[in-house]
Structure formats: structure tokens, C-alpha cells
Copies of this chain bind each other. A is one copy, B any other.
């Protein structure tokens, strides 16, 4: 199972990467909090909605976009609804579905918060990287993301133990866990 360790370079790179991403995200979170009193999570939800057609998205889609699990998104949206920034709208066709829709107040919040945040992203990252480094960063991100892809965090949600580990039932056992 094991045996394939990391060599020194890899070890250093990994640690460095861990530290960098944390410092970065922590800093962004702090900035966002100070400037706009928003958490990164909420900011992202609002932003995604603001970009979506009709300023609204299916919960599952939104969850996938933000890389949240369903539960987390539900709770978060609860909060945003309480705040008056988001509204829940039943979706037409699918009786199970809910649409999260950005309110005007919510839109205002995004518009107010975005410029600072983006400026910070620019300052903390893009301004410091050469075009080449930016290009490779994009490559790497693409590669890493593609390798994982469990958009709505299926394996994490409530599949009864049996479904996940049971002696592979006839046919493709579970839901689209393998597919993408």
C-alpha cells in the first residue's frame, strides 16, 4: 500500500504549498471580513449567484460550483436568507429542487465587496507571478482538479454504508461515483 515516500524536493514543495495556500486564504478571509464583514464562503456563494443567469442557481449546482457539500450549503444559505441576501424559490419542473436566488440587497453586497477582494487577489498573487508562472499555475490547477472531481461530494453524503462498500451488486453498483 505504501512504500512510495516523497523525496526531499517533493516534501519541501508540498509543505511550501500547504503553507502558501493557507496563508493566502487566511489573508483573503481576513481582508474580506474587515472590509465587508463577509466570510469567504458567503462571498463565494453570493458571487456565483450574481453571475448566474437570473441571479439564481439550483442548490446542487451551486454546491458543486463552490465545492461545498449539500449540508453545508443548506446551512449557509439559511444564513444568507436570514440576512436577506438570498431567497429560496421552488424550481418549476423538479418538485425536489430549490433555486437560491440573489436578492437586490444581496447583489448590492457583492458589488460592494468585490472590488476590494479582487484587488487583494491581484496584489497577493497575480502581481507577483510572471506570465509563465501564471500559465503553469493554471495548468497545475487544471490537472489536479481533473484528477479528483467529485463535484457534489457524493461519497460524503448519506449513502448507507452498504451501498458504498457492499459486495458489488449486479451492474454498476452505486450512483455516478465513478463517472463524472
A contact residues vs B (CB 8 Å cutoff): 1-6, 9-10, 12-14, 16-24, 26-27, 30, 67, 115-116, 118-119, 121-122, 124-126, 128-129, 132-134, 136-145, 147-150, 153, 155-156
Report whether over half of chain A's contact residues are helix, strand or loop; otherwise say mixed: helix
A141 — which chain B residues lie within 8 A by C-beta?
Answer: 13, 16-17, 19-21
Sample of 5 more A-B contacts, CB < 8 Å, known A10-B122, A137-B140: A4-B118, A16-B138, A30-B156, A128-B147, A133-B140
B9 pairs with A144, CB closer than 8 A:
no
Most-contacted residue by chain B among A4, A20, A27, A147 (CB, 10 A):
A20
| Beta-carbon nearest neighbor of A15 in chain B | B141
Q: Which of B124, B145, B153, B156 contacts A20 (CB 8 A)?
A: B145
A24 pairs with B122, CB closer than 8 A:
no
A128 — which chain B residues lie within 8 A by C-beta?
Answer: 143-144, 147
| Beta-carbon nearest neighbor of A29 in chain B | B156
A150 — which chain B residues lie within 8 A by C-beta?
Answer: 23, 26-27
Query: In the assembly, what is the distance between CA of A30 and CA of B30, in Å?
Result: 26
